[in-house]
Structure formats: structure tokens, C-alpha cells
Chain A
Amino acid sequence: MNYLAIIIGGILINNYIFSRFLGLCPFWGVSKQVETATGMSLAVIFVMTMASGVTWILNRYLLERFGLNYMQTIAFILVIATLVQFVEMVILKVSPVLYQALGIYLPLITTNCAVLGVALLNITEGYNFLESVVSGAASAVGWSLAIILFAGIRERLAFAPISPSMRGFPIALVATGLMSIAFFGFQGLFRGILF
């Protein structure tokens, strides 16, 4: 039940884009086409799931054990940066096809605040190892859902007659706001059943 709550919470209720404001730079940066958005999504799901697990282990067995909690931010960002590099090398070695698809998106992920965000939030929520990994994966799926949906809207926006001053970021922001209202509907959906 707890895992179901984490999964539905991560994907729909506390969606990283529409409710927690995490990972917005790539959300607007690579959402011009559904194809690139999908590529970025796969890379983010991969890295966020791994980062959740690795930072949990790091926090429990290194930082907490030696009373180094104040080093959390520095340790996490270094581990995430290294992890991204490592993942990039492994993918290149194991599957050049996948590397072709994800390659250009991977370096961008280091500065995606959703990755560091999920690592820090897992610790704040007090999740255990498995819960952290599930929460990382679910949040990443929620982020992907948001960016792919938005890329679909944006492809239409490109041809829509929009007043000149609204073109570009303003209309993208307002569209995101409207999608956020739609996702707001999920807030009450599971209240009382799961939480």
C-alpha cells in the first residue's frame, strides 16, 4: 500500500513539474518535439532511479555513520555528476544504439535539479532503500509524462496564431499553468483511500 502511495503520489499527485517545480530547465529546453522529449525522459528515468539508490546508500553508510550530514549537498552533487559520467561510459560500451539515442541528453542531467531534488527529498521523507528507488523511478516517470504531454502541446503551439508579445516563453508558461490546473485534479482523487 505504501509503495502504491509513493508511485501514484510521484507520478500524478506530487508531479515534479506541475506541483513541485523540479527539473524545469530541461522541461522547457528540450520539449520542442515529442521525439527529443522522449529521449530525455528515458535518460532521466534511468539516472533518477540509479541516483536515488546510490545517494541513499551514501547517506546511510557514509554520511550518517560518520556524522557528516552537513556534507550532504556536496557529496550528493559529486556522486550524481560521477554517476552520470559513469552511466554514459557504460551505455557507450554496452549499447551504442542506446547511446546514440540518449548520448546528448546525459551530460545535461547533472544540472537537472530533479535528480538532486529526489535524492534530498528521499532523505527528508525518511524512505528506506527500496522506497527511495521506487520514489525515484515514479517521480521520473511523472516528470516524463509531463514533458511528453507538453511537447505534444508545444508542437501544436508552434503553428497556432499567437499574439506577438505572448510568443515564446510566455505562452509556454501559461500552457504549463493550465496543465498544472489539470493535474491539480488528482490532489483529491486518492485522498481518504491512500493517505
Chain B
Amino acid sequence: MRRLWNTFSNGIINENPVLRMVIGMCAPLAVTTAVANGFWMGIAVIFVLTASNALVSLLRKVVPAEIRIPIFIVVIATFTTVADLTLKAIQPDIHAKLGVFVPLIVVNCIILARAEAFASKNNLLYSVADGLGMAIGFTLSLLVLASIRELLGNGTWWGLQVFPQTFEPAIVMILPPGAFVTLGYLLAGLNVLTGKTEGTRGT
């Protein structure tokens, strides 16, 4: 039970894909112009990552090692299509705003990385816990990023006016440069909080 909890919480805190591992960055930066967009993107990723981890785990004994990557990609692409069509049906406005980034979940490094590094080696229960944890960690970091950007860039949170009308929003925050700068300072802030002085990777 303890191990199961550790597997689950690993993705949320220690190995948070966006804020700790810094992988699969395209969608987090692109869709976080508003909290609602980030939330629905997160829901789509929770579904795809959990479902693909589960299926990859069930298939792990029958998949030949040489062609495992193409098979994983087909599994992920199938669930991505399901998520894409479902989102289009229940949230057409959000789907239009997320645009190409919903089908692009299929090439998000996090999902293939978890299939390859975790689900192909562990049983169903742990794979689902890992998928859920990673995806929830992903969603939470999207919400944090989107909250900062929407509050400063638009003065609202999930469409609700937070700052008084006299507040002059900094439009740059919801434009592409704001995404990079916000995430950069967020990561730097986390480094200060955790007392970590070296970057996770790279120079």
C-alpha cells in the first residue's frame, strides 16, 4: 500500500513532469493562456496517460521487444483520438482553442516515456497509479502556470474578474513570451524553495 502511494505521489511532487523533469513542454506553454484551457488539456492528458499506461502494462508480456515503440505509439494514438473526439463533443469551444495540441498529445514525451520506462515493466495496478500521478502532476502544474498568466495577463481567473477594473492587465503574459518567462521564473522559484542550486539538466 505504501509503495502504491509512493508510485502515485512520485509524479505529483518528486518527478513532476513539467516543473521537475521539464519534458513535454509544448502543450503546457501553448495552452495556459486561460485556466479553463489548461484544465481541459489536463483532463485529456489524465485520460490518455492513465489508459495508455494500463493497456501497455497489460500488453507487456506479449509485445516483442524490437517493435515495442511502434506498438506503444499506436496505443497512445488510439487513446488520443478518443480524447480528441470526446473533447470536441463535450467542450467544442475549448477544443477549438486548444486546436492542434489535443492530437499532439500523441507525441508528448511524457506519455511515451512513462509507457517505456514504467508501464512496460510493472503490473496493471502500479502502472495505473503511475499514470494517474504523472498526469495529475502535469495538470496541477498547468493550472499553476495558467493561473499566473490569466491573472496577470487578463485580470481574471477562469473567466471571473479578480482584480478591479482599474487594473491594467499585462497583455504580454498571455502572449507567447509571457509563457516562457513565467515558467522560467517558476522553475527558478522552485529551485530557491527546495534549496536546489543546480539546474535539473543542461547548462
Give residues of chain B (32-79) contacting chain A, Cβ–Cβ below 8 Å: 70, 73-74, 77-78
A-binding segment of B80-88, B130-138, B155-163: B80-88
Is there contact, CB below 8 Å, between A176 and B80?
no
Report the Cα distance A62→B102, complex, angstroms.
Answer: 23
**Is the pair A25, B23 in contact by a Cβ cutoff of 8 Å?**
yes
* A177 pairs with B202, CB closer than 8 A: no
Chain B residue with Cβ nearest A159: B203
Given the contacts A168-B203, A173-B184, A19 and B197 also touching, CB distance less than 8 Å: no
On whether the beta carbons of A77 and B107 are closer than 8 Å, the reply is yes
Query: Would you list which residues of chain A between 76 and 95 have a CB under 8 Å from chain B?
Result: 77-78, 81
Given that A25-B26, A169-B201 are known contacts, is A73 also in contact with B181, CB under 8 Å in the complex?
no
Residues from chain B with a CB closer than 8 A to the CB of A167 are 197-199, 203
Q: How far is the CA of A185 from the CA of B9 in the complex (A)?
A: 43
A60: Cβ under 8 A from any B Cβ: no
B185 touches A174 (CB 8 A): yes
Q: Of A40-48, A114-122, A127-135, which binds chain B?
A: A114-122
**Cα-based distance from A129 to B127 in the complex (angstroms):** 43
Instruction: Give the dominant DSSP class at A's interface.
Output: helix
**Other-chain residue from A112, A121, A157, A176 in contact with B203 (beta carbon distance below 8 A):** A157
Dominant secondary structure at the B interface: helix
From residue B141, how far is it (CB to closest CB) to chain A in Å? 13
List the B residue with the shortest CB-CB distance to A115: B107
CB-defined contacts of A184 to chain B, threshold 8 Å: 175-177
Residue A124, interface by CB 8 Å: yes
- B25 CB within 8 Å of chain A: yes
Q: Shortest distance in angstroms between A97's beta carbon and chain B's nearest beta carbon?
A: 28
Against B, the Cβ 8 Å flags (1 = close, 0 = not) of A44-78 are 00000000000000000000000000111110011
A77 to B177, Cβ gap below 8 A? no
Report yes or no: A70 in contact with B85, Cβ–Cβ below 8 A.
yes
B6 within 8 A of A: no
How many angstroms from the CA of A97 to the CA of B2 in the assembled complex? 53
Enumerate chain B residues within 8 angstroms of A176, measured Cβ to Cβ: 180, 184
Tell me the complex Cα distance, A25–B180, Å. 13
B residues 181-203 touching A (CB-CB < 8 Å): 181, 183-185, 187-189, 191-192, 196-203
Contacts of A32 in B (CB 8 A): 202-203
Decide if B10 is an interface residue (CB 8 Å cutoff).
no
B153 to chain A, nearest CB (A): 14
Q: B112 touching A111 by the CB < 8 A rule?
A: yes
- Would B198 and A177 count as touching, CB distance under 8 A? no
The reply on B125 being an interface residue by CB < 8 A is no
Contacts A120-B104, A170-B185 given; does A21 touch B26 at CB 8 Å: yes
Contact B109 A21 (CB under 8 A): no
Task: Using A21-B30, A77-B107 as known contacts, say yes or no to A70 and B81 having CB atoms under 8 A apart.
Answer: yes
Asked whether A73 and B81 contact (CB < 8 A) given A174-B181, A177-B178, the answer is yes
Quick check: A120 and B176 within 8 Å, CB to CB?
A: no
CB of A177 within 8 A of CB of B181, answer yes
Q: Which residues of B contact A81 (CB under 8 A)?
A: 70, 73
Closest Cβ of chain B to A79, distance in Å, is 11
Q: List the B residue with the shortest CB-CB distance to A184.
A: B177
A49–B181 alpha-carbon span in the complex (Å): 31
The 6 closest A-B pairs by CB, nearest first: A168-B199, A173-B184, A177-B180, A164-B197, A177-B181, A21-B30
Residue contacts A-B, CB under 8 angstroms, 11 given: A18-B177, A21-B25, A21-B176, A73-B106, A77-B107, A78-B73, A116-B106, A167-B203, A168-B199, A169-B202, A170-B191
